[in-house]
Amino acid sequence: MNLEEYFKRIGFHGSYDKLDLATLKLIHRQHIMSIPFENLSIHCGEKIIMDLEVIFNKVVRGTRGGWCFENNYLFGWVLRQMGYDTTTLGSRVFDTSINDFESQEVHLINKVIIEGKAYIADVSFGLSGQIREPLELISGKEQPQDGGIFRFICKDNLWMLEKTGRRTEVPNPEFAKSSLVNRKETRLIHCFSLEPREPDHFFQVNNDLQTDPTSLFTNKSICSLQTPTGFTALVGLIYSEVIFKPDEGVDLYNMKNITEDELEAVLMEKFKVKLQNKMQAVNRRVVLEF
């Protein structure tokens, strides 16, 4: 495990002598555009474990992505190796099916201190909730990014992340009413406290999310990669290319079905993912909006 291999994987060729915000923003953006958010191991009969060596071999040396317990865990290690003041936090994701935050901390994020200011780095939320660059941890401040306007709201020491996006257009009439398309312009993403977490805090939930038959991740195979103009996503056999059009106040969702025979080629061409084991594409009726 070394930084040079990681930097090559994300296409970062600059200097990291300065532990400044500009460098953090750059490697954050390079990560999300090079390494997919995906849970395909679950649907290939593979076990996801929170072991940095295993994650490094899979994500950096291999042709894979991962979910937050892999990507953000790895990213935290990278930041510490570089010398950034980094703390691991746990967050509770907003669940639209219950209109509330989940009871468990099912998401891992990183807090980074630079020149006395705190920032939240998250390279593995995926889809439209993905931040392109770290967000300053300040309540009420609007922070525009490519995908919309993000803001933190702090109440009783609980930090909530909210996003205001744009209206959606779905040209393919077959998907005009798709449950995958998020049509709520302002929505809550997740919430967290500033209590530091050790990796073992997430071991049980990392296991539960890949084994619980009611989990989103056992019911849907997901692969998503950010692009300069939006993001791509594969949920089951539904492939989407989302294009952000801020000047027109709209996000364009180009969606289509692919076949099992096309699956391997789509994963390689659109996500640079090559699986070692055969995957079963899954898209059962569990709420997921992107």
Active site members: 68, 107, 122
Residue 103 C-alpha from the chain's centroid: 20
Q: Half-sphere exposure (CA, 13 Å, Cβ side) for 275?
A: 21
Cα–Cα distance, 183 to 84 (Å, whole number): 37
**Which H or E element spans position 66?**
none
Cα–Cα distances in Å, from 24 out to 31, 74, 135? 11, 14, 11
178: tokens are 């798709």
DSSP-derived secondary structure letter, 133: S
How many other CB atoms sit within 10 Å of the CB of residue 229? 12
